Structure 1
């Protein structure tokens, strides 16, 4: 029986409460590679939001049985990772796969407590997702023989501002207009004489300096 857990979702700080251009539902299928028989991944649960902007998420997950714990313990002894595959869906896109992982030993030591974070662009697109072990001070020891080890997961959204893109088209148009104006003689060059011809003046100056150093004037003869 899956347990429904409701968590408040942090989208942005209060001053930026409406920083998302997009609002709609978000669904994240959670799959892992523990106790999956012959399949590489099998279901661990899901995270569902009816509205990203409203910020309320529902986490629906399985409980680990003793087989899950034994496999996780074997990974921990080998210092391997516990892998989580997520399939992210929105109203605009379908099943974008993102894989993340943590150390199996850390996951065990934290009492199956983890933190899942999703990074979302203003248009609602999820560009990254991370998995992190929870706080050990708030967890209890794992009962390896138990058939009901519940997962304790928290989910947060982090808002990502897109960097402004360079206006390449406008720059090219500006350069093209300046080229056409020069060809027609409409563009006046208001630069100083040195700014216009420095590439010719500098080599001459260097040549004169070198010539003077190589042929110094002879010292006057003593009488």
Structure 2
């Protein structure tokens, strides 16, 4: 039983390694986390930061977050009373994107409190290293909030999700093929091997419909009875 478990774990981590190595680009990644509670006059204020040295490795992320104060909890509870949402904004920067890209994500404030401020942050990465989305969700931990000397602790987990791009159709080659076929038909070099019906169905069908309609509207007179 133990050897089987070891084999399964080895297969799992090998699959993760092979999947991660499909990333064409490697470099650092930084995600600034902001939220919309207890921000005074600002719409969003700092909640913490996630830094990653290697996108390809996808591990070893450093999560540094500011503990919640009583004011944070009170505002969360006020949102929970009206079934409101707790929103975070993530600003993603990397070696190739120093200007930063913003992503918004929301969860029910009541659910965030009920699960002890425990959440999961996922960053979705393309093979070229570009982050296409950052999602924020609450885990079903049902654990109480942990209060320390500095405030209430936020329990976050961070994961990189590698996205495989779908194959892109070669539109340019297809257009060139159509253009060559058109030029060949104009020069008479391309033979039309279609059958007679395939070539002229647009003429045959209207005639057939006309004949059918004429036969239905003008039935032959019934034969006279014998005298």
Structure 1 gaps of 5+ residues are 1-9
Aligned positions of 1:83-102 closer than 5 A: 83-94=87-98, 95-102=100-107
2:65 corresponds, among 61, 66, 77, to 61
TM-score normalized by structure 1?
Answer: 0.87
Q: Look up the match of 2:220.
A: 217
Q: Look up the match of 1:133.
A: 138
Q: CA deviation at 1:15?
A: 4.7
TM-score normalized by structure 2?
Answer: 0.86
Q: Determine which structure has the larger helix proportion and give its number.
A: 2
SS of 1:20's partner is: coil
Q: Distance in 1 between matches of 2:218 and 2:109?
A: 78
Q: How many residues align?
A: 211
Aligned positions of 1:200-215 closer than 5 A: 200-215=203-218
1:50 corresponds, among 45, 53, 57, to 53
SS of 1:64's partner is: coil
Structure 2 gaps of 5+ residues are 1-12
Q: CA deviation at 1:142?
A: 5.9
Q: Does 1:107 align with 2:112?
A: yes
The higher-RCO structure (CA 8 Å, 6+ apart) is 1
Deviations 1:142-201 (A, max 9, x none): 66x975211100111211111222221111111111111111111111111111111111
Q: Look up the match of 1:73.
A: 77
Q: Determine which structure has the larger strand proportion and give its number.
A: 1
8 A contact 1:28–1:87 mirrored in 2: yes
8 A contact 1:66–1:146 mirrored in 2: no
Q: Distance in 1 between matches of 2:210 and 2:137?
A: 66
Q: Look up the match of 2:171.
A: 168
Deviations 1:49-108 (A, max 9, x none): 100111221111111121221222222222221111110011111310111111111111
Q: Distance in 1 between matches of 2:110 and 2:203?
A: 70
Q: Look up the match of 1:32.
A: 35
